[in-house]
Amino acid sequence: MKTGIIILCRHNSTRFPGKILTELRGRTVLGLILDRLHRAAPDLPVVVATSTEAEDDPIALYCRRADVPCFRGSLNDVAGRFLECAEANGWDYAARINGDNVFVDGRTVSDMVAIVETGMFDLVTNVPGRTFPYGMSVEIVRTDFYRAQMKDVSDPRHREHVTSWLYDNPGVGNRYVYENRRCPAATGLDLALDDADDLKRIRAILDAAGPDPAGLAMPAIVDLTTREAVPSPWRGAAGPLLIAEIGGNHEGNFEVAKALAEAAIGSGADVVKFQIYTGAALVSPVESPDRHAHFKRFELTPDQHIELAKMCRNAGVAYLSSVWDLESLDWIDPYMDFYKVGSGDLTAWPLLREFARRGKPILLSTGLATLDEILQTVATIQAVDDRYRRPEWLCVMQCTSMYPIPDSDANLRVMDTLRAATGLAVGYSDHTIGSAALRAATAMGAEALEFHFTLSRENKTFRDHLVSLTADEVRVLKDEIAQICAFRGNGEKVPQPSEVEAGHLVSFRRGAFVCRPVAAGAVIAADDLCILRPAHGTDARDFGQLVGARALHELEPFRAIEIGVDYEPVQ
């Protein structure tokens, strides 16, 4: 049993001419549909079926360049075009996908193909009842059944809309209606590309989808479509959020703490961060008496912390603190826009559940942890509030809990792992010496950067000073990070403004020219041709179309030549 997929499309439409070849993030609409279908059913052939009209030549050209089979048939008898395509390929079943279905759902396609392979049904469809969004329709028909039913149907409406006659005659054939039970929230959504407003909405979804839109499943698409747009809190003035972690570098001296806060504010950091703890609420005096005493020495009072918070906020800089007990969270909470959970508290689930219940974004450091432990904690937070499934609500920070660490222990590629495993924002909390790791993390897409901050590293014995940056170093780092972010760009692969403005799309690329005179009516041979700059006339990619073509008039060497004007390909 052979099954194939047919993408029905045309270049011109009343509401949105050219939509099928419109580019979204550097990929055409047709290319996006092909990507999703090849991911869903890698073993099934996919054919683009368009019309024989000249207006659809750009689709045929695209398919030729993309090495995608293209079938051409009637413009208005789309039912005939669909059937002829299926028969020409010898398929027992043909799946119909419309050219406006940018988000055709992969799992739906694979499930419906599996149902078809039982051989029990003439039509498998997800259209009746509209439990799927508009723009995710899939219909698979038995070829001989479709031929028999449509042979006497002449109504132009049914010939144009392919399957409308089957829905008007529900008693014909053995049918299976595939219903959406996986994602009820998708019911009734309009994800079809019909006009410019739809394009804007679809572009926004793709912008938020990340680098693999072909792998975007229906629940994720629905979430991106329906979620309220909110600005990311992980956005700083230079790009990623820069968090100057003063932590315990004040060593319990409030005047030093104020001087550190003032210096951090002046450094250009987006956030100034402290740590709030008491020895009694953090460390057992019996099991770890020395550490208990250490934290006791570094304590600041609630009033002192609040004064530091006010200093920051009054200066227009965000204040943040790692809060290590719930009693302290009560009095400092009004001064924080989001929470930071240190690596040591990754498994302190009672504390984390309370943070989540209070409903502010969370930065979660992951030192000491395995990926499995991180995923468990992320799930624990998300179980309290679904908003933590969104990257603007939860940022997972790669961190290694040692001071200092060797360069290899920074392990920055874990950010890629965390991003792929969670779909959340990722960041980096630094414990290396210097700022090179922070610059590298920026280049790798970190959305938040945390680094220790000090007035000076000289003559300091407390370990955190060694891995800390000074105000001058932060100012330099901020400029470097802004440049790195400019280098990174937006991830959309399209010709850049400088290339376009310089005209390099034409001047740097090559066209196909004849390199010697060709007489009118002569057949053009490969030896008659060369490819040279600029890309005038016939694109070098279409060199093969020139070979064997017939000259419509005498062709002069090295002059631009165009199909239909200077030559006609042999059919």
- Tens of pLDDT, residue by residue over 88-140, are 999 999 999 999 999 999 999 999 999 999 999 999 999 999 999 999 999 99
**pLDDT band at 294; cut points 50, 70, 90:** low
Q: Is 413 within 8 Å of 395 (Cβ atoms)?
A: no
Task: Report residue 75: phi and psi, to 5°.
Answer: -70, -50
The span from the CA of 94 to the CA of 78, in Å, is: 14
**pLDDT band at 325; cut points 50, 70, 90:** confident
Outline which parts of the chain fall under CATH 3.90.1210.10: 504-568
The span from the CA of 202 to the CA of 22, in Å, is: 12
Average of per-residue pLDDT across 330-350: 96
Average of per-residue pLDDT across 286-306: 81
Higher pLDDT, 15 or 8: 8
**pLDDT band at 40; cut points 50, 70, 90:** very high
Strand 241-247 to 271-276 pairing: parallel
Q: CATH number for 3-226: choose from 3.90.550.10, 3.40.50.300, 3.30.70.270, 3.40.640.10.
A: 3.90.550.10
Quote the pLDDT of residue 229.
Answer: 79
Q: What is the CATH number of domain 241-488?
A: 3.20.20.70
CATH architecture for segment(s) 504-568: Alpha-Beta Complex (3.90)
Average of per-residue pLDDT across 514-528: 97
- Tokens 């504010």 sit at which residue? 265
Quote the pLDDT of residue 280.
Answer: 63
Rounded to the nearest 10 degrees, how much is the dihedral formed by the CA atoms of 14, 15, 18, 19?
Answer: -140
- The encoded tokens of residue 448 equal 């938040």
Segment among 18-22, 60-64, 288-292 with least mean pLDDT? 288-292
Quote the pLDDT of residue 292.
Answer: 63
10 Å Cβ neighbour count for 343?
A: 18
Segment among 44-58, 145-159, 215-229 with least mean pLDDT? 215-229
What is the percentage of the chain residues whose pLDDT exceeds 70?
98
Adjacent-strand bridge partners of 340: 322, 363
State the average pLDDT for the chain: 94
DSSP state of 124: E
Is residue 281 predicted with pLDDT exceeding 70?
no
Closest CA to 312 of 217, 250, 380, 246: 246
What is the percentage of the chain residues whose pLDDT exceeds 90?
87
Closest CA to 110 of 128, 122, 95: 95
Query: Measured between alpha carbons, how far apart are the two ends of the chain, in Å?
Result: 32
**pLDDT band at 184; cut points 50, 70, 90:** very high
Outline which parts of the chain fall under CATH 3.90.550.10: 3-226
Quote the pLDDT of residue 124.
Answer: 98
Outline which parts of the chain fall under CATH 3.20.20.70: 241-488
